[in-house]
Amino acid sequence: MARISVEGLSKSFGAYRVFEDLDLAIPKGSYVCLLGPSGCGKSTLMRMIAGLDTEHGGHIRFDGKPVEHLTAAQRDVGMAFQNYALYPHLTVEGNLRFPMKAPLQKGRWSAAQMTERVGEVADLLQIRPLLGRAINQLSGGQQQRVSLGRALVRHPKVLLLDEPVTHLDARLRYAMRSELKRIHKVMGTTTVHVTHDQGEALAMADLLVIMRGGRIEQAAPAMEVYSDPATAFVAGFLGAVPRTVLTLPLSERDGTAGLRLGGQHVPLPPALVAAARQAGGGTVTIALPASAFAVDPDGPVEGTVAAHEMIEGAQRLVLQADGQRVNIQRSETAPVANGDRLRFRVDASEGLLFDAATGDRLRPPLRRAA
């Protein structure tokens, strides 16, 4: 296992700049998920760590030693791809042996050691009965295990997983999450897992790295990222029902500070008032969970239904209000159609505030000890 340090990384494709001065520290033995929308740079970053892309600025270090001058084979990494990339002319056992027969491995493994190592990995992945089979005789889930075994068979310092369960059906994807974590617990290999599935990332990551537009928005333990987002983007990106992120003008009514939505005053609790005072200008961005909104015929704010769906007995609504989108989930169901106008109430007590210009979190000032 290895500690990975990315320092001042920069990368361009022609005039398009992917990264600029990117820093990331990955602890030894951790399971890290890179998560973000398509095109954010997560797969490019993993390829650079792997040594598959060496045209970049900055430094990549394993245990403090620079590796940017080393090839992918010399860096001692294992990689499992989303399309498995198995050799169809070899059996399962042949695929597992192949990395140990590579030129750089010549002389390091005796035939007996190869057989022993293949057996250990096959037992770990529960594929020993498949060793004699051809690749085209395997299911998608079985091929995924063989791909993972091939990446693990040499005991690499770093394991890189590029969307490893994307092609599996939903039931298998869920099962493979626990399998990957079990394997990581046994092997202890520093693992970097690229995914676009936030449920997968939240369930698996020791360290969750949220990326957008070639920059890291937040890198922290998964539950910390979810419950304490550092930026407005992170707040609105995570969650089965994403938080509603609204940029609204500050207002005051009857001596109570708040925000103005749809011409109505939404009061802020004292802690958020203190945070809002740190904002420059007359607007702030607030992130609100779906529970902050309640459809009510007598509610002060009106919105137009832009989308609706039923999921697991709950009705989810997306309303357009004051030119912005509001996500609502309610347990009671009622006939609704796009274009319907609904009134709703807003409770800002669970809101999170962010600077409207930078997207950075606004927090109440710390009280000084007496």
The per-residue pLDDT for range 248-270, each reduced to its tens digit, is: 999 888 878 899 998 899 999 98
DSSP code per residue over 300-326: SEEEEEEEEEEETTEEEEEEEETTEEE
Per-residue pLDDT of 94-122, as tens digits, reads: 999 998 887 777 778 889 999 999 999 99
CATH 1.10.1740.10 holds for 236-362: no
170 confidence band (pLDDT: 50, 70, 90): confident
Cβ atoms of 27 and 53 closer than 8 Å: no
- Percentage of the chain surpassing pLDDT 70? 98
- What pLDDT shows up at residue 232? 96
CA distance 165 to 178: 12
Query: Hey, how many other C-beta atoms are within 10 angstroms of the C-beta on 104?
Result: 11
199 confidence band (pLDDT: 50, 70, 90): confident
DSSP annotation of 274: H
User: Which of 5-9, 109-113, 175-179 has the weakest average pLDDT?
Assistant: 175-179
Pairing of strands 4-13, 158-162: unpaired
- What pLDDT shows up at residue 219? 97
Query: Hey, how many other C-beta atoms are within 10 angstroms of the C-beta on 137?
Result: 12
CA distance 260 to 247: 10
Please state the rounded mean pLDDT for residues 117-141.
91
178 confidence band (pLDDT: 50, 70, 90): confident
Please state the rounded mean pLDDT for residues 345-367.
89
Which residues neighbour 366 within 8 Å (Cβ) at sequence distance 6 or greater? Answer: none
Cβ atoms of 285 and 303 closer than 8 Å: no
Domains 4-229 and 236-362 share a fold: no
What ranges do the domains of the chain cover? 4-229, 236-362
Residue for token pair 């493979």: 176
Fold of 4-229: Rossmann fold (3.40.50)
